[in-house]
Structure 1
Amino acid sequence: MIATPYRFGISEFTTQPWSFDEDVERYARLGVDTIEVVEAKLDPDRFAEQMQSIGKAGLAISGVQPSVRTFFSSRMKPDPQGLNDRITALRGSIERLSRYAPGVPFITNTGAHPTGDMADAMRVVGDKLGELAKVAADNGVLLALEPLNPSSVNIESAIWTIDQALEVIDRSGSETVGLCLDYWNIWQNADVAAQIARAGSRIFTVQASDWRTPHSFADRIVPGVGDLPLAELIRATRKTGYDLPYVVEVFSDNVPDSIYDLDLEQVVSDCKQGFAAAWAASET
């Protein structure tokens, strides 16, 4: 196998129909370097064994998607409803899984503010991230806030730009809190390369996929087959000195030609090839 100058990862959301155990075995066999763990795929009775199986398979962990990852309720995870209950659940995920993923970012986003009050959402989430950062630091992990695409505003998120996310991160007052940079979500931000540059060392994890005009808020495609300027975004990210994994995260829910209906081993291989081509193009 030819070594690449980056570490390539797959989010378990990309292979939603597979079980956690299938993800680990198949990612390793297909030459994936890292896995973005989706807690909802873990068996509550076997999670310790399953988390330990990752390293045994030769994979590293790039990030953790907690079962409850938004501060306010969201369409993907509407319950529990209360802010404090959601924070308690997120704290529980950190305390439960951090020992198996030291130094890894736990990915969060704001959720949808119940009245659509963006200013209040940014204030509340910034403050609560600051409190939760102490828990993360005590457990040896990080928190990564993800701004989502405008198609998710008031559904999954109250923020949609890198600069908005950085404002919330700054409000947290903690170096333990950084950015989850998902290209699908931010590629249409104004002056996106400059925003990536401002994020700099606060980028804790990067996610990639590709764009077509979506049929739903969760309609993404394999890197290299859509309209997203992936090479330009990778180039801007590399200029910041980012040297952590690049993770392909594809959602394909409620669409007529879902990748979840395809040969997922081929999908993973196509993701590897598409990202490799974009990386090569980023060097020109």
Structure 2
Amino acid sequence: MNTLAINQLSTFRWEFEEDAQAYASHGFDGIGLFRPKVDDFGIDRCSDLLRELDLSVTSLSWAGGFTGSDGRGFDDAVRDAMDAVIDAANLRAGSLVVLAGGRNNHIRKHARRTLCQALKQVSAVAEEFGVLLSLEPFHPGCGQEWSFINDLESTLHILESVGSPNLGLVLDTYHVGMDEEVLSWLPHVSEHLHLLQLGDGRHSPLGEMNRCLLGDGCVPIGEIVHTLLDLGYDGPIEAEVIGEDVESLDYEMVLGHTRSYLDMLTGSKVH
């Protein structure tokens, strides 16, 4: 059964405890954790609270930036990712989300080689600790500084090159769902899919990420979800609702709307 969850970025202004209490009260079974919030609250306190509320950790975001686009060197980014793997293990997270980093003036071949080198090192630690790594492609319209991996095909090529059994991917419908070919790629993606994130938008991403309430945009979320469920996907389904269109909305309303939408979308196939 797929676990229904929501990512902490959806309630960005709240503190960790407020997030967890509200998600549980709205009937979510899982939570996507944001590392800065975890660091502020403390891993041990996070684990205790989530155990008390019976919330599973569907993801921990994020590690990566191996190309230096965020100002860190390669070795620093790799060490941080290894630390994140250990945190993910302690939190019993379903997966650790990994972002490649922007091209940072590298030629694409060099950026790809750098990413694969980092993923091989981090994957070795992930295999030791039993943690799944999930590489996430970002739409180029809003994620050039976050990732030079922008589509499902490129992501699959990286997974093949690295060859770790613990390395898979995140499919975020906001980033890849507006691609006209997305449905045709789902059979190739499903066996590598660790996390399905749901995001919607009223137009193709341009500039900052600007998601709308699920179902209010133009992303074919229903088709994507139902296709993946039919293909046997049984991993977490995690909503991420963030951006200018929703930042002024009451968080309780956002959570209620999101839970109702997920129930409508998935019916009895999930819990």
Q: State the TM-score, normalized to the length of structure 2.
A: 0.91
Partner of residue 22, structure 1: 18
User: Which amino acid is 2:100 matched to?
Assistant: T
Partner of residue 96, structure 1: 87
State how 1:194-213 maps to structure 2 within 5 Å. 194-213=184-203
Q: Aligned to 1:37, what secondary structure does the other structure show?
A: strand
State how 1:1-284 maps to structure 2 within 5 Å. 6-44=2-40, 46-66=42-62, 68-74=63-69, 78-79=70-71, 81-101=72-92, 104-213=94-203, 214=205, 216-252=207-243, 255=244, 257=245, 259-279=246-266
Would the aligned equivalents of 1:224 and 1:277 in 2 still touch at CA under 8 Å?
A: no
Q: Aligned to 1:113, what secondary structure does the other structure show?
A: coil
Kindly report the root-mean-square deviation, in angstroms, between the aligned alpha carbons of the 2 structures. Answer: 2.0
Alpha-carbon displacement from aligned partner over 1:42-71 (angstroms, at most 9, x marks no partner):
2457321122311211111111113x4332
Q: Following the alignment from structure 1 to structure 2, what is the Cα–Cα distance between the partners of residues 178 and 276? A: 26
Q: Aligned to 1:260, what secondary structure does the other structure show?
A: coil
Would the aligned equivalents of 1:9 and 1:36 in 2 still touch at CA under 8 Å?
A: yes
Would the aligned equivalents of 2:5 and 2:28 in 1 still touch at CA under 8 Å?
A: yes
Q: Structure 1 residues 17, 209: CA separation in 2 closer, same or farther (over 3 Å shift)?
A: same
Would the aligned equivalents of 1:128 and 1:172 in 2 still touch at CA under 8 Å?
A: no
Structure with the higher helix share, 1 or 2: 2
How many residue pairs get aligned? The number is 267
Bigger relative contact order, structure 1 or 2 (CA pairs below 8 A, ≥6 apart): 2
CA positional deviation for 1:116: 4.9
Q: Following the alignment from structure 2 to structure 1, what is the Cα–Cα distance between the partners of residues 130 and 68? A: 27
User: Which amino acid is 1:16 matched to?
Assistant: F
Q: Aligned to 2:217, what secondary structure does the other structure show?
A: coil
Q: Following the alignment from structure 1 to structure 2, what is the Cα–Cα distance between the partners of residues 215 and 128? A: 29
CA positional deviation for 1:153: 4.6
Large movers: runs of 4+ above 3 Å:
none
Q: How many percent identity over aligned positions?
A: 23
CA positional deviation for 1:89: 0.9
Q: Aligned to 1:22, what secondary structure does the other structure show?
A: helix
CA positional deviation for 1:274: 2.0
Alpha-carbon displacement from aligned partner over 1:62-94 (angstroms, at most 9, x marks no partner):
11113x4332345xxx24x21111111111121
- Identify unmatched segments of 5+ residues in structure 2: none
